[in-house]
Structure formats: structure tokens, C-alpha cells
Amino acid sequence: MSSSKPNFLFIFTDQQHANMMSCAGNAHCHTPAMDSLAESGVRFTRAYCGNPVCIPSRFTLFTGRLPSAIGLTGNNVEAIPPVPESILKGGMGHVFRNAGYKVLYGGKQHLPKMDIEDLGFDVFETDEREGLADTCADLLSKPSDDPFLMVASFINPHDICYMAIRDFAETDFDHWLLKTGETEVKCLDEALQLPKGMSEEEFFSSVCPPLPDNLEIPDKEPEAVSTMLRARDFKRKARENYTDKQWRMHRWAYARLTERVDRQIAKVLDGLRSGPNADNTIVIYSSDHGDMDGSHRMEHKTAFYQEASNIPFIINYPSMPNKGIVDSDHVISNGLDLFPTLCDYAGIDCPSHLQGKSLKPIVEGNAPENWHKAVPVESDLGRMIVTGRYKYCHFFEGKNAEQLCDLEVDPGEMRNFASDPAYASILAEHRKCFESVFSTIGSTKS
């Protein structure tokens, strides 16, 4: 980096899981823009969101606090009180504005009982698609008198949500979503189209993504998961009624929507790379949460499974000492660790309320002291810690309320090892770690 303060460009998508990139080995999705960031940057494979749904995850990204800090567990914000002024004033935009940065936000917001301006940002674009890409590219191609922190929040591949909603719409809310989501449905229908001139037989035999290896429902799955599916009945019906062909079409459309947003990101990166800010701008790429993508016969998010909670996270800048690195050693939280990382690179004192750690030492090849032993994730369903190889989940209610996953032995999470005697010591260790992590962070639910 130059001696002047660095600029920051934070690009994030909506509902993209960590493996939905060709640089992550996905042969059914071509993402050259995302890949270009990974090829000359550092890609973290063990990155997790703060909560695998939109509103609480986005709250964490821009405040550095877990959603339970305001009593938030999911997208239902009616039950929580107004966000305290102390949290708003400690938001990312205010901290960077006070340090002399221009703080710019474009695209989707979806925050709990506040707007992004309440966290100190200036909104430069409200479009979440092509308009956002064009405006970002234009701004980045021009010189800036002051250092900037720019956020580009894209909507896709979130349009995949509308497939199951449309297939099984029953409630007034489902029909309202379809009525007001004309753009979303149009983009979904475009993504569902087969390649021109290709027969359906050829499509399914050679082009359409196969069923996931972990298609089936896991042994001893926590009852809270099926309860969650019944709460939005189209989710239950998708799990019970989708045919193999429909699941494959869901995966096909999800990949096309990811490629769509990749093309928009390419415009943004072209604007940056062709302009005067390229040499002094740190680019960070991530997503707010993932999508189940057919795994365990599920679509949408909310669950703690890898597809919903493990998200892409890439850091890239021209002068970084290590390029093309894939870090699988450190478990990180995109929400908790983003804010401290930006502060560290900017030379800003990290606010005392932040609960994460800076990734700068890892990016620069220095072994960080006292790195996370576990990363916390919250949900409407319960709470989880990820220690790397293992995930331990404690659900608020229902049978099989404890879930222990061994991602090395069972990467598809088809087994619950919590009742396996061979894992008794590991279970005990993770119970203790879980209590330590959440007692330190604090939570409004026990």
C-alpha cells in the first residue's frame, strides 16, 4: 500500500455459499470476476456469517456485534426494541467518517429498524443490480480527494428464493412477495432457461448440475430444522415434494444467478482497475449468508448447515505480500472480523465494542496470536460454534437439540455425532467452548 490511507471497496452478494465460485472448485458455475480476486488475493475457506439470514447478518457486518446484542435472532424485527444510539454511533460508517473517510453505500440494505445512514453511511445508489454496477464503476474510475470506504451490496443470487415460493405459494405473504417481486421472478425465469438449441435430454445428461452428494436428510437431524421448515410451509413442501429433476433445476438456476452477479461485479472491478484508485484500494468480497442449494432436500437458508452458514471471503490488494493463497487454517467470522480488519488497515484505533479480530496478520503471513478458538453463529433455531474441523450446535427446542458435526469425516453433514460414544470427549470439549464463547459475547437467549 502507499503511505496515504488506503481506500476500501467491500463487495458482497446475497445468499451465496462458499462453494458457489469456480475458484472454489465448482465446475457448474463460472465466476471469472470473483476468481480474479482469489487468484491475486487470499481466499478464506472457513468463513462463516454471524447469522444465516439477511437482516441479522447485515447488522453484524456493519456494527461488528452479534445480532443477540439487540435481541435479534432472525428476519422478524417487530419484536425487538429500537436499536440503541450507542450501537448506531459505533457503526462502521461513523467510525470511518470520523477518521476522515468518505463512507459510501450502494445497493440492498435490509437492516433492523434502521437505515444504513443511521450507521454513518451516505447512500450513492439504491439499485441492487446493473444500476449499482454502473454507478460503482463510474465513481471508482474517477479520482477521490479523500480516502473512501465504498460498499456495493448486490441482490443476487437471492432471486433463487422465488422458485420454491412460486411453486408452493399459499399464504397472503407468499402471494405478496410474488406480486411485488416482478423483477426477481423475471430474473429467475431467465436463469431457469435451458441453453438455446439444446434438448432437455441432452441438458440433463451433460449440462445440468447433478444432485448434491448430501441430498438426503441427515441421521438424527435436530427437530428444530423441520419445525423451521413448517413455519414457512413452502420450504416443507419443497423438501417433501421436489423431484430430482426439480432439485437439479434449482441448482442450475442458482448457478446462473451467481454468474449474473459475477458479471455485475466484473463491471465494478473494471472501473476500479482502469482508474486512479487501483493501486491504493483494498477489495474485500463476501456474502451475507448462503443457500442450501438442494443439500438435505432444502433451499433457502436459516439452518446451520455449511451451505447456509459458510460463505465466501476474499481479501485482495495490489501490494499484498502473498497472492493466490487459500487459507483453510483459520476459522473466521465475516461479520465480526470485517470491521476490525478495516480499522487495522486504515490505522484507526479499533473500537472497544468490537468482538472480532483483524485478518491483516494472516493476510501478511504472520501467525496471529490468540486467534479464534471458535467462531459463533446465531439463528432463530439456536446457536453454533465452529472450531474448524468441528461444528457444535445447540438448538433452543425439540429432539436432538445438540448436533456435533465432523467436517473432516463427514463433510456433507449427514451424521450427528453428538450421541456417538467415540466423540464423547470432543462433545464435552465443545460444550465447554460453547459456554465460554457465548458467556463472553453475551446473548439474550439461553
Domain boundary assignment for the chain: 7-160+252-373, 378-441
The pLDDT, as a whole number, for residue 181 is: 94
pLDDT of 278: 95
The pLDDT value recorded for residue 367 is 78
pLDDT score for 85:
94
Give the rounded distance of the alpha carbon of 308 from its chain centre: 8
Check if the beta carbon of residue 137 is closer than 8 Å to that of residue 124: no
Residue 72 CB-density burial (10 A; 0-12 exposed, 13-18 middle, 19+ buried): buried
At residue 42, the 3 state secondary structure works out as strand
How crowded is residue 429: how many other Cβ atoms within 10 Å of its Cβ? 14
User: What is the fold of 7-160+252-373?
Assistant: Alkaline Phosphatase, subunit A (3.40.720)
Helix (H, G, I), strand (E, B) or coil at 266: helix
CA dihedral over 381, 384, 388, 391, signed as positive or negative: negative
Topology adopted by domain 378-441 = Arylsulfatase, C-terminal domain (3.30.1120)
Phi, psi dihedral angles at 131 (to 5 degrees) = -60, -40
The pLDDT score that the predictor gives to residue 445 is: 37
- Give the tens place of pLDDT for each residue, 406-445: 999 999 999 999 999 999 999 999 999 999 999 877 543 3
Half-sphere exposure of 82 (CA within 13 A, CB side): 7
Q: Are strands 102-107 and 7-13 parallel, antiparallel or unpaired?
A: unpaired
Annotate 195-220 with DSSP letters as a single string: PTT--HHHHHHHTSPPPPTT-SPPTT
Residue 392's nearest CA partner among 404, 401, 383 is 404
> H/E element holding 439?
helix 424-441
CA-to-CA dists, residue 146 to 5, 139, 170, 280, 390, angstroms: 9, 13, 51, 12, 44
Note the pTM of the prediction, 2 decimals: 0.95
**C-alpha–C-alpha distance, residues 49 and 53, integer Å:** 9
Residue 271 CB coordination number (10 Å): 22
Counting as low any pLDDT under 50, the low residues of the chain are 1-3, 443-446
pLDDT for the residue numbered 439:
87
> What pLDDT, on a 0 to 100 scale, did the predictor assign at position 397?
95
pLDDT of residue 34: 98
- What's residue 442's pLDDT? 56
Q: What is the pLDDT of residues 169-215, one digit of tens each?
A: 989 999 999 999 999 999 999 999 999 999 999 999 999 999 999 99
Residue 202 is predicted with a pLDDT of 97
